[in-house]
Structure 1
Amino acid sequence: MSYYDVDSILTDAQKLPCTFELEVPGLGILEGNPGEDIKPGTRIDLPLWLGEMLSIGARLGTSRLVTLDMPSALSERVMNALKADPRTVDLRSLAPHFYSLGERILELFEEEELVDVLMETFKKRAAEVSDQAHNPRGAVGDGVDFLRGLDETERQLFRAAHDRAKEMRVWSGEAKRK
């Protein structure tokens, strides 16, 4: 990803629950208490980029300032729903950049099951996205709720599939050029 990639910037801005391991004087502003200290064990939702930086001490051999927790968008409850039927889950309400968030989290956590669930989810939902994109009436009927729940990656996939299907109809003479 590029440094100037807007989707990457928005993914890094996603909130991640963090638990402070050390006392931090004067940083109470993060939890809405200016001038106060943050005590060990305090849980605060921080942007992904900040949480990652504050937890980096563990990788350098020093004591870490925070411990990162799994975000609610990738919780066990959500993973179970995705295993049951990924097409019924509204990914956009969980995280607008759901798959990008999953990718970033997998850089921080070793979760083999999460990899499998995300891959299967993308495969099954991509097939549905393709069906909706190729069916001109798909966005009118039962597909409306599904299309509203697409994350940004799936929306890009939908646009690409829809545009290619439209171009194919124009090429074959079924539709007029505009």
Structure 2
Amino acid sequence: MSYYSPDALLTDAQRLPCTFENAVQGLGFLDPSSTSSTIPAGTTLQLPLWLAEMLAVSQRMGTPNNVLSLDNPPALSSRVLNALKADPKTVELRQLATHFYALGERVLGLWDEPELEEVLIQTYKARTAEIADLAHNPQGAIGGEAGVFLRGLDEDERQLFRVAHESAKMMKQFMTERSTKN
């Protein structure tokens, strides 16, 4: 994704749980429940990904500790990962994060989690096969389990479905035109 793409901006706006390791002056406005201009050490807040990332990599002058530590977002919690391992097609990714895979990619850029990487890859593979099948057979995609599955697609998957559906329509049109010419 490019820096100025709406999808990148929306991914950056997703919130991550963060715990402040040190007291930080001047950022009290980030905590809506605080009347102080200082965030005390141990405070846990949900911050936008872009801000959490910047604060996590910055260090306070004179201390070896980071300003805050990042936790996995709820969309990538162990409960969600276990559900994805069990059956990726039953999880409504859109309910977890509109840009689920983009969030996973950004989190993987922040810390090394081979298990998370493997789950995301396997999830994408399994769901992509289902998306391709539904895109080529749209009659079965209207209701029932297929309809629930399609409503739960994240933005990348929705775009994939649109492209696959359009290509299937164009191929069918091409084959029809070709057979009528012969």
Q: TM-score, normalised by structure 2?
A: 0.90
Q: Look up the equivalent residue of 1:51 and give its one-letter code.
A: A
CA distance in 1, matches of 2:174, 2:121: 34
Q: CA RMSD in A?
A: 1.7
1:14-42 C-alpha deviation (Å, 9 max, x unpaired): 10001001112342221212434211010
1:109 maps to which residue? 111
1:145 maps to which residue? 148
Runs of 4+ aligned residues of structure 1 deviating over 6 Å after TM superposition are none
Secondary structure, counterpart of 1:173 in structure 2: helix
Q: Look up the equivalent residue of 1:152 and give its one-letter code.
A: E
User: How much has 1:51 moved relative to structure 2?
Assistant: 0.4
Secondary structure, counterpart of 1:117 in structure 2: helix
User: How much has 1:64 moved relative to structure 2?
Assistant: 1.2
2:67 maps to which residue? 65
* Residue 154 in structure 1 maps to residue 157 in structure 2: yes
Structure 1 gaps of 5+ residues are: none
1:25 maps to which residue? 25
CA distance in 1, matches of 2:54, 2:140: 44
2:129 maps to which residue? 127
User: How much has 1:63 moved relative to structure 2?
Assistant: 2.6
Aligned length: 173
Structure 2 gaps of 5+ residues are: 178-182
* Residue 165 in structure 1 maps to residue 156 in structure 2: no
Secondary structure, counterpart of 2:141 in structure 1: coil
Check the 8 A contact 1:73/1:95 in 2, yes or no: yes
1:28-59 C-alpha deviation (Å, 9 max, x unpaired): 2212124342110100000000001001125x
Check the 8 A contact 1:16/1:71 in 2, yes or no: yes
